[in-house]
Amino acid sequence: MSLPMSKDPALSPDSSEAHHGMHSLGEDTIAGWKVAVFFTLATVLYIGSSFVPVIFDETEGQYAGAAREMLARNDWLIPTNDGIPRLQKPPVMYWIMMASCKIFGVNVFAARLPNALASLLWIYATYLVGKRVGGRSTGYYAAIIQSTFFGFFIFSHLIMPEPFLGALLTLTFWCFLSALTHPARCRRWFDLAWLCMSLACVVKGLHGLLYPVLVAALCMLFFERQRKVWREMWRLRHLAIFLLIVAPWYAAIEMRFSGFLMDHFVNEQVGHLLDKRFPPDSRAVPSMVFWVQHLVFFLPWTLFAPAVFWARRRIKETGQVFYHHEKVLWLWVVVTAVSIIFSARQDYYTMTSWGGVAIWLALPWAARIQVPRMFWLIPCVLLLVCGVLGLALQGVIDSAVKGATVEVDPVAARDNALNAIRGFSFGGYLQLVPLMKLASVILMVGGGVGTYQAWRRRKASVATVAGIGMLGLMALASWGLALMGQYFSLEGVARGIRNEARPGAMVICQGEPHYATSLFFYLENPINWVDAHPGGEFALREKGIGAELYLTHDKVAECWKSERQVFLIIEQESLEFWREKLFLVPAQTRAVGVSGTRVAIMNRPGNSS
């Protein structure tokens, strides 16, 4: 699939763009003002949308809750959830969130702002890589494409290490490509690469080292011309840089919790990679579903993928050199994809290599070739038709939704993107209908303008229209997440408990803790658990820290009958079971707080009673 490399060693991405087909002509050149406007709008969207939605359960609550607890204890070493050490990930991401909360207060915006900034850095890093392999136009288009991947916005909006890891890995590959482009200065570039890899490891784990090192090793193995440069990567000072940055936290934790290193690197890191982690902490997304859903994650740019294949074939036929050292990028994407085959797949697991995908998709937009008009026209017409159909069907949708019942699966059944969508009956999307109308208008207008520009063969304008249209759709998606947030967060329940709780109140939640992690951010009370397995965390499983928080049904009943104020958080479908178990009187079945399918009830009158 690779394009032929230049035979002239003087040619590099830093050479004049005219030498290797980078300089597009007329309207095919993306205008500087368009780029400035687009990235200003993207920055406003990514930072502005940090205010919503509420903190979600699972990943978001784990990280935001740990940062809140560490800040409350003024402890910058040990992340905790519910007071139990959470040692799966190093602390750098928590430190950044803590600093944000110090500045802006403990709130949703402060918790999400670091993710938004990391995502913007990641987009800029993709621009740098694209510029290095194909010139400034490639960098611009790749950054526009990645920032408007629908899946990229959704996942980077959630609080998790991936935006930090993705930014640092992308910068690492920028350093690799820079070393290959400037062999005389390769040592300095590899020094910077090792710095990025080391920081990636203290954000997420060994992923930050594994992927780049594997790619570098494969490049040495298969690409003989590059071997002399790659040899400079393996220096003792690079190992010193890595150990200096990565080792201190791991050593400190091993000293506090003996056996941590073995469990962390074997069970957590290798175990997750091979889907052998004990105990399993998530269900893997089915393989076919995982790969097919990427077509949705990469929308709308997957519609233009045929133009990529045509452009690559045309460039190869004409003998042009377009992408320099692109094999490194291909290996990056392939190594990431292959590692996922054996892992405990989650929806976002390939995300850190999406910059490489964006650069691949940028080819027909940036190349100095005339791509047949139909490759731009057909996708734009499809978007236009979707918008028109969406508006035309609004009457049918309105009547269907209004007459439909609202049925939502319990939170444990909505554990990935596909299950989350399937977990709502048609009536469950009632509040999203106005947003669907607005989305249809954006598709219709954007598709119409894009069709006109495609007909005029103005591909740069098509890209701009598609990008700005996607920013509008992503803003609506952020709004939609805010409207549906109650089904994925216990913020409403926590708010009700805070309003009613007396000093010393006890909180008990039914189910596994990772389905209720938003409580760690929204409540300061320790959370007790029933119908949960106390084996998820190393400190709990091996050291017994926090074991007293896991209760039996009989213990819950005993606490409920005591003089202590007790709040019980349950799925609404479990209310009848607990009514019989606890001999609830009618006053005790009143919901103190409601979050989607979950409610909180209490045994003693609260502050508002």
- Distance, CA of 401 to CA of 578 (rounded, Å): 33
Cis preceding-peptide flag for 53 (omega within 30 of 0): yes
* Residue 424 binned pLDDT confidence (cut-offs 50, 70, 90): confident
- Distance, CA of 397 to CA of 116 (rounded, Å): 34
Global pTM exceeds 0.95? no
Instruction: Please name the amino acid found at residue 248.
Output: P
CB 135 within 8 A of CB 363: no
Q: What is the mean pLDDT of residues 141-155?
A: 95
Quick one: which of 348, 325, 326, 324 has its CA closest to 336? 348
CB 79 within 8 A of CB 70: yes
- Distance, CA of 139 to CA of 28 (rounded, Å): 15
Task: Show the tokens assigned to 432.
Answer: 């999203």
Collapsing DSSP to helix, strand or coil, 393 comes out as coil
Q: What is the mean pLDDT of residues 426-452?
A: 91
pLDDT of residue 370: 86
Tokens 């992308």, residue? 170
pLDDT of residue 35: 81
pLDDT of residue 571: 94
Torsion of CA 549, 523, 163, 166, to 10 degrees: -10
Rounded to an integer, what is the distance from CA 549 to the centroid of its chain?
Answer: 31
Q: Check pLDDT > 80 for residue 28.
A: no
- Show Cβ contacts of residue 421 under 8 Å, excluding neighbours closer than 6 positions: none
- Residues 173-186 have pLDDT tens digits of 999 999 999 999 99
- Residues 349-368 have pLDDT tens digits of 899 999 999 999 999 999 88
pLDDT of residue 342: 81
